[in-house]
Amino acid sequence: MIEAVIFDWGGTLTPWRTMDFLAGWRAYADALHPADAEQAAMVAAALSTADAARWGGIKEHQRAFTLAEVLADAGVPHHDDGLDAYRLFWTVATHTDPEAAPMLAELRAQGRRLGVLSSTCWPAEWHEEFLRRDGVLELFDACVWSCELPWTKPHPQAFTAAMDAVGVADPDRCVYVGDRLFDDVSGAKAVGMRAVLVPHSTPPADQLVAVDVEPDAVIQRLADLPTVLRELDET
């Protein structure tokens, strides 16, 4: 039996929404320089470049990073109002899929442990507040955010950290559910987990990596997952 199901967050538990990274950083920069549009534009460009470089670097070294490190890379000071504005800009993309709560409740009723493993530079408390807002945080046994790890997906240590967090030792009894072949499917299968793909995201081109890997299943809706897991129980 599959003992644990671990989910990606953005693009999996939350429906994918294409966002303008530069506009998000412009919200930060406008709060930092409210009376100087030219300076704000320069700061936003520097932050966007630093952010893209960090995400692009995951393709080679999978080192986790934080918002504080993006700010430092760009030479931009921490600004509480700026972070509030940045977070507000992104909030539209943080809402949990309406099918998630009933699906998670069904998986818990089947006796499965549930977790989250997300590659993110945002603070863990942001994510957990979003999940709490949507009434699903309490359905998870553990949440692991790469901002609190040395490594991000697809590094094996990210996946083993998530397994440890949900209390399951055998990777063959774990399924990872995600929206990316490189980060999610290849990373999970490399440590012996099974993987389910939710193929609805369109990540930035500079974050994509061609990889020869096949998921164990593909679902079009989160509501389909309980049935797929029962099928995987038998394989």
pLDDT at residue 60 in the model: 86
What residues form DSSP beta bridges with 217? 196
Please give the average per-residue pLDDT across 188-210, as a whole number.
Answer: 87
What's the pLDDT score for residue 230?
94
| pLDDT surpassing 90 at residue 235 | no
Non-local (6+) Cβ contacts of 160 within 8 A are 191
Average pLDDT, the chain: 95
* Residue 210 amino acid letter: A
Q: Which of 154, 142, 140 is nearest to 188 (CA)?
A: 154
Closest CA to 144 of 166, 175, 171: 166
State the pTM of this model. Answer: 0.95
The rounded Cα 113 to chain-centroid distance in angstroms is 19
Percent of the chain with pLDDT over 70: 100
Question: Above 80 in pLDDT, residue 27?
Answer: yes
Q: Which residues touch 61 (CB under 8 Å, ≥6 apart)?
A: none
Instruction: Report whether pLDDT(206) > 80.
Output: no
pLDDT digits (tens, 9 = 90+) for 108-138: 999 999 999 999 999 999 999 999 999 999 9
Any idea which fold 4-17+94-233 has? Answer: Rossmann fold (3.40.50)
pLDDT of residue 147: 97
Structure tokens at 104: 């998670």
* 10 DSSP 8-state letter: B
3-state secondary structure of 77: coil
Cβ atoms within 10 A of the Cβ of 170, count?
11
User: pLDDT of 58-68, one tens digit each?
Assistant: 888 999 999 99
Percentage of the chain modeled with pLDDT above 90: 91
The pLDDT-based confidence of 9 (bands split at 50, 70, 90) is very high
The torsion region of residue 167 among left (phi > 0), alpha (psi -120 to 50) and beta comes to: left
- Looking at residue 169, what is its pLDDT? 95
Q: Output the pLDDT for position 208.
A: 74
Cα dihedral 72/30/206/9 (nearest 10): 90
- What are the residue ranges spanned by the domains of the chain? 4-17+94-233, 21-92
What pLDDT is attached to residue 188? 97
Which of 168, 121, 118 minimizes the C-alpha distance to 143? 118
Residue 209: pLDDT over 90: no
